[in-house]
Each structure stands twice: as structure tokens, then as C-alpha cells.
């Protein structure tokens, strides 16, 4: 067992905090006890399955192609997740797949092309996982913001179209505002790292016994990659979704933001 | 073979817009139900009808912000569906029910319609809409309702439209601002730019209409 491993006993001990969450829900009559337990069981099962799969994938005898196939499956699942979380977004699956495919390609090409990490399963799978996983909320947020901006400013957009502006010009100020909002939370996260937030990769490395400065270097690289990914995602979503919301003869489709 | 003299000279002048059995359905609702009408190519034509009758939809068909589910909309004889939409919208200017100032100054607003226009040109456009040229530096969002609607009129006129569509443009204005906008529209029509004005206000129709069309339950008849 590695230096930072906690074993089954450690995991069982950490369940105390799940009990705390259940007790809080019960005492405050939140009605979330079942949901909390189900979420924890589901997370455990998913993580264990992934853990065993990763053990096979990153084995030295496993071909690299299997890791790339795993990345493809992650992309598909993340696109399905985006579609489920943002049902009001037309063509969300294809849009998310294109956006996350583009950002994963860009980030992995950067990581391996610049030699930050070697092209090995041990690097491909976790890095792609972090990029894609962190891109899901950014993709959903960007798509929802684009819909909200164009819906809230429907009258202004139509006034611009009525002046003879093409859809790309008529939508630009509103899509720009949407993407700024969608990117701001990631930028704020990047700024807060280290002060109020010790991110997962760094914490995991430190718990596993890595020198904190080395862990920081890894985390910084990951943060920058995530930022690049979220920016790529947001712009692909912005362009792709806006194009879908207008007809070829420059009319704005009826867009409805989701009630919150 | 040449046509007889009578046929050549007694043809009806081409309509500004004609609607030929136009049906428009949206969200499983039939908004226009076989609308057929001719809008004359001069003066102010009022499309009159109650809320939900389909009069605004007819207007939006004129500059292709909507397209019919079936039927044909013609602009001076040409099927609107065959016209290049952006060029058509600049020929057929539109002022909406509520003022839609864009962020920035009045100058910024007018330059959206006419990029690269000089201050003299923009000032002249404002004066045609009864606003002083000094308004160019005003923040558009700070204008009163009447001023904002006149700025929107100026923004539309600066594109040099051949037709002006006005979709209940005075519904959010007080009596004084309403009177001023009606006067401006009459002036535009007198200068040879036909105006199509949507309203539900019969008194307004009496004040400004040269022609009127009644819109009821998605169909059109002479008012």
C-alpha cells in the first residue's frame, strides 16, 4: 500500500461524515437522507469500477490505443451529461461533443506535444479525465448563458436584424456577454486557487506523499489546461449554438430560457 | 404581340405588399388563416385589429422576420422568399412596439444601422425624427420613452428605407409623444415613403390612415 493510501478502514471511517450529512437532513426535515445515501453508494460503485478499469488501462502491457478509446468513451458520456443537464439547448449532444472534442484535442496536443507529460496511459487517461470532467459544467453554463442572453434581449436582436445586420453581427454583443459570464467563474476559480481553495489534484498528490512544491507545479499546469479547455469549450458552444438559434435567412428562432 | 392600350394603361398599380392566402402556424397555433390582402404603395396604411388577431405577424412577414407556413407574400410584385433577406430588410425598415435602444450613445445606435456615417448625416437623421443633433452624445438608455422611440425611428430612417413598417409604435407612449410620432410618420409618407402602421386604436386610425385593413382571427378584410 502506498504512503498516501487509506485502505478500506480509512474509507469506512470517512463514512462518519456521510452519517453527519444524513443526520443534518433528518433533523432539519430536508428529506434528503435517501438521496444522500444513494449518491454516496453510486459514487463509490462508479469510482471502484473506474479504479479497477484504470488499473488495467495504465498497466504497462495495455496498448496506448485502449487509453485513447477510453478518452472517446469519456467524451461521449460527458456529451450525454450535458444534454441531460441542459435539455433546453437545441442539439446539446452534438454541440457538447464538438466542443469537448475540440478542447480535449487542444489540451492533450499541448500536454503531449510540448512534452509536459510523456504519451503514456498513466498520463492520457487522468489528464483527459480532468479536462473533460471540468469542461462539463463550463459547457452547460456557456450554453445556458447564450440562450438566456438571446432570450432576454430578443427584442434588441430582432431590431438589429431588422436593420439588415446578419445573424452573426446581431447576436455578437449578447453572445460575448454570455461567454464572459461563463468564463468568469473559471477565471475566479483560477485566482482563488491556493488562497481559499486547495484543488483536488494537488491535495491528492500531497496526501500521496509528493513534495508540496512538485504538487503545486502539477496543479498549476492542470489549472491552466482547464482554463484553456473551458475557454475553447465556451467559444465552440457560443459559435455552434448561436448558429443553431438562427435560420439561414437570418431570423431568430423562438428561444426560451429554462425556469430556475 | 402588343397588348391593347386599355390593358396597358388601366392595370392596377403594383401593390406595395400583397398577401396571397397566407397561413402561419407557430407552436401548433394558427396565427394567420389564409390572409389575403393588398397594401397600397402610397400613404399610410393602418392594419387594425384586436390583440392576437395577427396584425403584427402580417407586418413581420413584410420584412421577413417571419415566413409563412404556406401562401405568398409579395413586395412590389416580387416574392419576398426570393429576395435577399438582409438587403430586403434595409429596404423595408421597421420600428417596433417598444423602443429598443442598444447599449451606448445615440451615435452608437445610429452607427449600428449605418456604420461609417458622419456626424452630419447622423444629426440630419435625428432632426428628421424631431430630435436635436446634440442628442448624438446622449446615452440611449437615458432617453425618455418618446425620445427613445424617435431615436429608433431615426435609426431606421438612416438606412434610407423605401418603406416604413411601424408595429404599434405608440402603445407605450403618452399622448404628446404619440402625437409627435404620428406627425413624423405622416411626414415620412408625404415624402414618398409609404408607411404600414399596426394599431388597435381606432381614433389613431382616424387621425393618420390613408388606407385601412381590418385583421380579424388571422384573416384580412378592407376596414
Residue contact B96–A250, C-beta within 8 A: no
User: Structural domain of residue A182, as residue ranges?
Assistant: 63-245
Same domain, A97 and A27: no
Q: What is the per-residue pLDDT for B124?
A: 92
Q: What is the per-residue pLDDT for A200?
A: 77
B-chain CB neighbours of A165 within 8 Å are: 86, 112
- Mean pLDDT within B43-53: 94
Same domain, A49 and A16: yes
Q: What is the per-residue pLDDT for A35?
A: 93
Q: What is the DSSP letter of A193?
A: B
Residue B112 predicted with pLDDT over 90: yes
Evaluate whether B72 touches B79 at the Cβ level (below 8 Å): yes
Same domain, A142 and A238: yes
Q: What backbone phi and psi angles, to 5 degrees, belong to A211?
A: -60, 130
Residue contact B86–A164, C-beta within 8 A: yes
pLDDT tens readout for residues A214-259 = 888 888 888 888 888 889 999 999 999 999 999 999 999 876 666 5
What's domain B15-100+162-222's superfamily in CATH?
P-loop containing nucleotide triphosphate hydrolases (3.40.50.300)
Q: What is the per-residue pLDDT for A3?
A: 60
Q: What is the per-residue pLDDT for A61?
A: 83
User: Which one of B66, B87, B96 has the shortest CB-CB distance to A159?
Assistant: B96
B-chain CB neighbours of A164 within 8 Å are: 86-87, 89-90, 113, 159
Residue contact B86–A250, C-beta within 8 A: yes
Evaluate whether A64 touches A124 at the Cβ level (below 8 Å): yes
Predicted confidence band of residue B7 (pLDDT cuts 50, 70, 90): very low
Question: What is the C-alpha to C-alpha distance for residues A258 and A115, in angstroms, rounded to an integer?
Answer: 43
| Within-domain flag for A253 | no
| Within-domain flag for A79 | yes
Contacts of B107 (CB under 8 A, 6+ apart): B119, B122, B136, B137
Of A259 and B112, which is predicted with more confidence? Answer: B112
Q: Which residue in A has a C-alpha nearest to residue B98's C-alpha?
A: A155
- Mean pLDDT within A108-118: 89
Residue contact B85–A250, C-beta within 8 A: yes
Residue B6 predicted with pLDDT over 50: no
B87: cell is: 438587403
Same domain, A179 and A147: yes
| Within-domain flag for A80 | yes
| Within-domain flag for A252 | no
Evaluate whether A193 touches A215 at the Cβ level (below 8 Å): no
Q: Chain-wide mean pLDDT for chain B?
A: 91
Residue A21 predicted with pLDDT over 60: yes
Question: What is the C-alpha to C-alpha distance for residues A32 and A59, in angstroms, rounded to an integer?
Answer: 40
A245 closest CA partner among A255, A237, A235: A255
A134 closest CA partner among A233, A241, A258, A240: A233
- Mean pLDDT within B83-106: 95
Q: What is the per-residue pLDDT for A4?
A: 63
Predicted confidence band of residue B4 (pLDDT cuts 50, 70, 90): very low
Chain B contacts to A (CB-CB under 8 A): 26-27, 63-67, 85-87, 89-90, 93-94, 96, 98, 100, 102-103, 112-113, 152, 155-156, 159
Residue A111 predicted with pLDDT over 60: yes
B-chain CB neighbours of A163 within 8 Å are: 89-90, 93, 112-113, 155-156, 159
Contacts of A252 (CB under 8 A, 6+ apart): A150, A154, A157, A158, A161, A167, A170, A245, A246
Amino acid at each position: 500500500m502506498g504512503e498516501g493510501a487509506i485502505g478500506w478502514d480509512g474509507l469506512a471511517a470517512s463514512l462518519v461524515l456521510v452519517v453527519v450529512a444524513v443526520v443534518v437532513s433528518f433533523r432539519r426535515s430536508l428529506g434528503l437522507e435517501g438521496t444522500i445515501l444513494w449518491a454516496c453508494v453510486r459514487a463509490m460503485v462508479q469510482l471502484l469500477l473506474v479504479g479497477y478499469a484504470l488499473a488495467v488501462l495504465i498497466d504497462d502491457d495495455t496498448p496506448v490505443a485502449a487509453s485513447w478509446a477510453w478518452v472517446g468513451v469519456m467524451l461521449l458520456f460527458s456529451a450525454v451529461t450535458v444534454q441531460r443537464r441542459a435539455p433546453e439547448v437545441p442539439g446539446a449532444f452534438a454541440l457538447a461533443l464538438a466542443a469537448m472534442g475540440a478542447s480535449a484535442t487542444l489540451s492533450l496536443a499541448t500536454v503531449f506535444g510540448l512534452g509536459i507529460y510523456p504519451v503514456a496511459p498513466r498520463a492520457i487517461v487522468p489528464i483527459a479525465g480532468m479536462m473533460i470532467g471540468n469542461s462539463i459544467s463550463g459547457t452547460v453554463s456557456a450554453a445556458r448563458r447564450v440562450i438566456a442572453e438571446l432570450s432576454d434581449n430578443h427584442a434588441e436582436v430582432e431590431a438589429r436584424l431588422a436593420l439588415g445586420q446578419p445573424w452573426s453581427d446581431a447576436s455578437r454583443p449578447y453572445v460575448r456577454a454570455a461567454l464572459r459570464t461563463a468564463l468568469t467563474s473559471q477565471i475566479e476559480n483560477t485566482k482563488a486557487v491556493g488562497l481559499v481553495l486547495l484543488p483536488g489534484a494537488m491535495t491528492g498528490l500531497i496526501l500521496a506523499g509528493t513534495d508540496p512544491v512538485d504538487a503545486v507545479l502539477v496543479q498549476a499546469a492542470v489549472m491552466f489546461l482547464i482554463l484553456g479547455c473551458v475557454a475553447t469549450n465556451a467559444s465552440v458552444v457560443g459559435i455552434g449554438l448561436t448558429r443553431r438559434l438562427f435560420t439561414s435567412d437570418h431570423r431568430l428562432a423562438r428561444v426560451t430560457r429554462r425556469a430556475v | 404581340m402588343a397588348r391593347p392600350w386599355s390593358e396597358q394603361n388601366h392595370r392596377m398599380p403594383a401593390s406595395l405588399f400583397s398577401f396571397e392566402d397566407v397561413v402561419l402556424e407557430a407552436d401548433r397555433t394558427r396565427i394567420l388563416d389564409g390572409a389575403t390582402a393588398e397594401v397600397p404603395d402610397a400613404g399610410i396604411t393602418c392594419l387594425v385589429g384586436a390583440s392576437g388577431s395577427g396584425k403584427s405577424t402580417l407586418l413581420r412577414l413584410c420584412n421577413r422576420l417571419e415566413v409563412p407556413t404556406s401562401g405568398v407574400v409579395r413586395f412590389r410584385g416580387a416574392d419576398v422568399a426570393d429576395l435577399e433577406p438582409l438587403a430586403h430588410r434595409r429596404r423595408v425598415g421597421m420600428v417596433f412596439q417598444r423602443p429598443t435602444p442598444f447599449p451606448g450613445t445615440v451615435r452608437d445606435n445610429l452607427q449600428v444601422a449605418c456604420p461609417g456615417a458622419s456626424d452630419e448625416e447622423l444629426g440630419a437623421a435625428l432632426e428628421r425624427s424631431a430630435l436635436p443633433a446634440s442628442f448624438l452624445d446622449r446615452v440611449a438608455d437615458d432617453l425618455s420613452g418618446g425620445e427613445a422611440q424617435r431615436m429608433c425611428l431615426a435609426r431606421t430612417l438612416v438606412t434610407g428605407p423605401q418603406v416604413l413598417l411601424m408595429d404599434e409604435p405608440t402603445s407605450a407612449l403618452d399622448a404628446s409623444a404619440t402625437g409627435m410620432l404620428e406627425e413624423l410618420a405622416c411626414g415620412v409618407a408625404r415624402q414618398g415613403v409609404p408607411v404600414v402602421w399596426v394599431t388597435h386604436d381606432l381614433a389613431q386610425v382616424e387621425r393618420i390612415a390613408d388606407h385601412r385593413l381590418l385583421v380579424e382571427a388571422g384573416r384580412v378584410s378592407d376596414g
